[in-house]
Amino acid sequence: CRRFKYDINNYLATLGSEAPVKDLDEIIASGRTHPTIRPRLEYFQQVEDPPDQDESCLRSLPNRERLRTAVRSQLETQQLDAMVYPTWSNPPRLIGDLNTPHGDNSQDLAPGTGFPAITVPMGYVRGSLPVGLQIFGDAWSEPRLIALAYSYEQATMHRRAPATTPRLGH
């Protein structure tokens, strides 16, 4: 189900006159996206039907409910407050590199179920590229996820401010 166009347009509409652009068409027309991103935006721009009228979206609804039920069942059966997994399967590619495996972000559980997730720093690859850890939980578990994320961050102290970030004063 390709909802991106409608989701971004709806979000931009909530910004009112403060929005620098009003929809996906204006984002693409602005020319302010990286050339490697433009084809993806154009792909989503081609979607005609809104999600509530799109056949692929309507067909995905039963699968979404099955996934929600299966995940909730495992959380309960295993007595888990959360599931934890890497945010990405591969380190990021260099800008403009379209040949190196790019992996995939962890876009299945949280979006597929509608359940919350939070990402925290879990270290670095290639010396300075940060990598993330996603903490995922059942519906309405945001307070617990935030507590787990905070505890993890305090215990590991993996976050480093980028070298280009000025020091904060007191």
Per residue in 78-120, pLDDT tens?
999 999 998 887 777 777 787 877 766 666 788 889 899 999 9
Q: What is the mean pLDDT of residues 20-47?
A: 92
Q: Is 152 helix (H, G, I), strand (E, B) or coil?
A: helix
Q: What is the mean pLDDT of residues 9-36?
A: 92
Q: Which two tokens stand for residue 37?
A: 């991103």
Q: How many percent of the chain have pLDDT more than 90?
A: 52
Considering Cα of 156, then 157, then 159, then 162, what sign does the dihedral take?
negative
Per residue in 112-165, pLDDT tens?
898 999 999 999 887 778 889 999 999 999 999 999 999 999 999 998 888 888
- pTM (2 d.p.): 0.70
- Assess whether pLDDT exceeds 70 at residue 167: yes
Residues 69, 64, 24, 50: what is their CA dihedral angle, to the nearest 10 degrees?
-130
> Could you state, in order of their start, the residue ranges of all structural domains in the chain?
79-170
Per residue in 52-63, pLDDT tens?
888 888 888 888
- What's residue 65's pLDDT? 92
Pairing mode of beta strands 83-86, 129-136: antiparallel
Contact 150, 135 (CB under 8 A): no
Considering Cα of 143, then 116, then 39, then 97, what sign does the dihedral take?
positive
- What's residue 165's pLDDT? 85
